[in-house]
Amino acid sequence: MDELKITEASLSYAPSYTETFDAVAREGKFLSISSGYPLADMRQFIKGCRDCGFPQFFLIDRQGRAVGWCDIVRRTNCPDDVGFLGVGILKEYRGQGWGSKLMAATIAHAQKRGFREIRLEVRASNYNAIRTYRRLGFVKIAYAKNGVTTDGVSEDVWTMRFGSRELRHDFFEQGAFFGRFPAIQYKFTPSS
Ligand X SMILES: CC(C)(COP(=O)(O)OP(=O)(O)OC[C@H]1O[C@@H](n2cnc3c(N)ncnc32)[C@H](O)[C@@H]1OP(=O)(O)O)[C@@H](O)C(=O)NCCC(=O)NCCS
Residues of span 17-46 touching ligand X by CB under 6 A = 24, 30
- The 3-class SS string of 117-152 reads EEEEEEECCCHHHHHHHHHHCCEEEEEEEEEEEECC
Q: Which residues contact 185 (CB under 8 A, 6 or more apart)?
A: 75, 76, 77
Interface with ligand X (CB under 6 A), residue from 122, 144, 148, 157: 122
Q: Which long-range contacts (CB under 8 A, 24 or more apart) does 187-191 make?
A: 187/73, 187/74, 187/75, 187/76, 187/78, 188/48, 188/51, 188/52, 188/73, 189/52, 189/74, 190/51, 190/52, 190/53, 191/52, 191/53, 191/54, 191/80, 191/113, 191/114
Residue number of the CB atom closest to ligand X:
99
DSSP H/E element including 157: strand 153-163
Residues of span 70-89 touching ligand X by CB under 6 A = 87-89
Q: Does 5 bind ligand X (CB under 6 A)?
A: no
For the CB of residue 87, give the shortest distance to ligand X in the complex, in Å.
5
Interface with ligand X (CB under 6 A), residue from 28, 64, 79, 95: 95
Nearer to ligand X, 91 or 191 (CB): 91
Q: Does 147 bind ligand X (CB under 6 A)?
A: no
Q: Does 125 bind ligand X (CB under 6 A)?
A: no
Q: Does 182 bind ligand X (CB under 6 A)?
A: no
Interface with ligand X (CB under 6 A), residue from 1, 3, 112, 135: 135
For the CB of residue 19, give the shortest distance to ligand X in the complex, in Å.
14
Q: For 129, phi and psi rounded to 5 degrees? A: -65, -45
Stretch that binds ligand X, among 3-11, 91-99, 149-157, 161-169 (CB under 6 A): 91-99
- Positions in the binding site for ligand X (CB under 6 A): 24, 30, 87-89, 94-100, 120, 122, 126, 128-129, 131-132, 135
